[in-house]
């Protein structure tokens, strides 16, 4: 089979490199290449780091080809109307794998997942009560994020290593979701708490470029009256989260989907992506007076930083819309620690792509960094398409 040519589009006014993803199914049919023998070359003939993500997408139709450019490509039109470069996909012998991100599953079945690259290590907890001591509100949260082996969620206590870490620290937690009710229903929303519901491990994938895991929340019911058939209907719903970490990245990416299957449809029932509004909760020590910045006219990202060295910082970016950020989180029961709590809700979506950034960086440098990551990875990413 001849090589498949992919055109690369750079919608920015400056040269860029980066990681690209394209659907694998069509390329596989055209090229006839097994996933373990795929090779991608740039226009100069350089073999590029490449992987095919099957395991992180249990449905093969959603599998992706992932590759990283070795050189920057030239600027192109903002509307993606003209390509800036190209790569070729063909059958060959992949390069020997070098250092790559990792996934570690703790327990059988897993109750904790650890994602690691050269600088970051994230401990992601699946159980509501990981320590079995009655504290049952940690499900679906990262209870430790280390940058260069330094705990960033609880930096001040971590530096004074004679102190224990604050057991409340956590981030990336979708603590609740809201689902819109039909207009003829008495309530506008059905609210479901997820912080006390266990998650199950679905799949994982590890390659040269990124490591990814898929988890699913414990199912819950959504019931509504259907006037067409004049009876109530019930869906079994579960929040699915694909969480990934790329080589060299200072952020964790995730995709959220709420999937529902009609009750009685059986194990092979077709799942539907439902409309929902997720809320994130974070408990992170940024000092008594954390700085919070959310740009005017842009609800796709925000950043918060500590005013004192070592200036631990967190940023969030998404392709959805962020409502106002609550700092502190409304109703947190321990008043003396409320300054460490933050929460924000996304407007209703059927899927949301989100990025969580962590750094030791002053606010003056961190804010433009978060804005650029949002621009390059969410708003105007590099794209690749099969050439006509």
Q: Specify the CATH number of the domain 102-379.
A: 2.70.98
Q: Is the dihedral angle over the CA atoms 242, 243, 244, 249 positive or is it negative?
A: positive
pLDDT digits (tens, 9 = 90+) for 253-275: 999 999 999 886 655 568 899 99
Transcribe 144-191 into DSSP letters: EEEETTEESTTHHHHHSTTSPPPTT-EEEEEEEEEEEPPTTSS-SEEE
The stretch 307-323 carries a mean pLDDT of 94
pLDDT given at position 265: 62
Residue 179 predicted with pLDDT over 60: yes
Q: What is the mean pLDDT of residues 20-47?
A: 88
* Mean pLDDT for the chain overall: 91
Is this model's pTM higher than 0.85 or not?
Answer: yes
- Beta-carbon count within 10 A of 169 CB: 23
The CATH number given to 4-96 is 2.60.40.1180
Answer whether residue 49 shows pLDDT above 90.
Answer: yes
Residue 162 pLDDT:
57
As a whole number of Å, the CA-based R_g of the chain is 22
**pLDDT digits 0-9 by tens, 63-112:** 899 999 999 999 999 999 999 999 999 988 887 777 889 999 999 999 99
- Rounded distance between C-alpha atoms, residue 289 and residue 291, angstroms: 7
- Domain ranges for the chain: 4-96, 102-379
Structure confidence at residue 232 as a pLDDT band (50, 70, 90): confident
Kindly report the length of the chain.
Answer: 388
Would the CA dihedral through 322, 323, 324, 329 be positive or negative?
negative
What is the predicted pLDDT for the residue at 27? 85
Most confident of the following: 94-108, 160-174, 230-244, 287-301: 230-244
């Amino acid at each position: 089979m001849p090589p498949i040519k992919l055109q690369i589009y750079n919608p920015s006014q400056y040269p860029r490199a980066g990681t690209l993803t394209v659907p694998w199914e069509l390329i596989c049919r055209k090229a006839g290449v097994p996933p373990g023998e795929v090779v991608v070359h740039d226009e100069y003939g350089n073999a590029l780091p490449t992987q095919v993500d099957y395991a992180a997408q249990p449905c093969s139709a959603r599998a992706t080809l992932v590759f990283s450019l070795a050189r920057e490509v030239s600027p192109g039109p903002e509307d993606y109307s003209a390509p800036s470069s190209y790569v070729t996909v063909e059958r060959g012998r992949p390069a020997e794998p070098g250092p790559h991100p990792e996934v570690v599953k703790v327990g059988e079945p897993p109750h904790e997942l650890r994602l690691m690259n050269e600088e970051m290590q994230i401990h992601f907890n699946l159980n509501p009560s990981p320590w079995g001591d009655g504290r049952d509100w940690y499900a679906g949260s990262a209870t430790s994020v280390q940058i260069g082996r330094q705990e960033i969620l609880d930096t001040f206590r971590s530096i004074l290593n004679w102190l224990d870490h604050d057991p409340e620290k956590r981030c990336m937690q979708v603590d609740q979701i809201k689902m819109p009710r039909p207009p003829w229903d008495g309530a506008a929303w059905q609210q479901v708490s997820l912080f006390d519901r266990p998650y199950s491990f679905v799949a994982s994938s590890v390659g040269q470029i990124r490591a990814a895991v898929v988890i699913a929340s414990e199912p819950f019911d959504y019931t509504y009256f259907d006037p067409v058939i004049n009876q109530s209907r019930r869906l079994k719903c579960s929040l699915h989260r694909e969480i990934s970490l790329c080589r060299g990245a200072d952020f964790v990416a995730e995709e959220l989907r709420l999937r529902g299957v009609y009750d009685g449809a059986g194990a092979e029932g077709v799942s539907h992506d439902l409309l929902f509004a997720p809320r994130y909760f974070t408990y992170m020590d940024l000092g008594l007076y954390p700085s919070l910045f959310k740009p005017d006219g842009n609800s796709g990202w925000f950043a918060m930083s500590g005013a004192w060295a070592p200036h631990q910082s967190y940023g969030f970016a998404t392709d959805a819309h962020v409502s106002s950020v609550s700092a502190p989180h409304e109703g947190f029961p321990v008043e003396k620690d409320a300054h460490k709590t933050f929460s924000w809700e996304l407007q209703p979506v059927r899927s949301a792509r989100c990025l969580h950034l962590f750094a030791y960086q002053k606010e003056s440098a961190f804010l433009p960094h978060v804005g650029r990551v949002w621009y390059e990875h969410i708003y105007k990413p590099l794209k690749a398409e099969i050439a006509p």
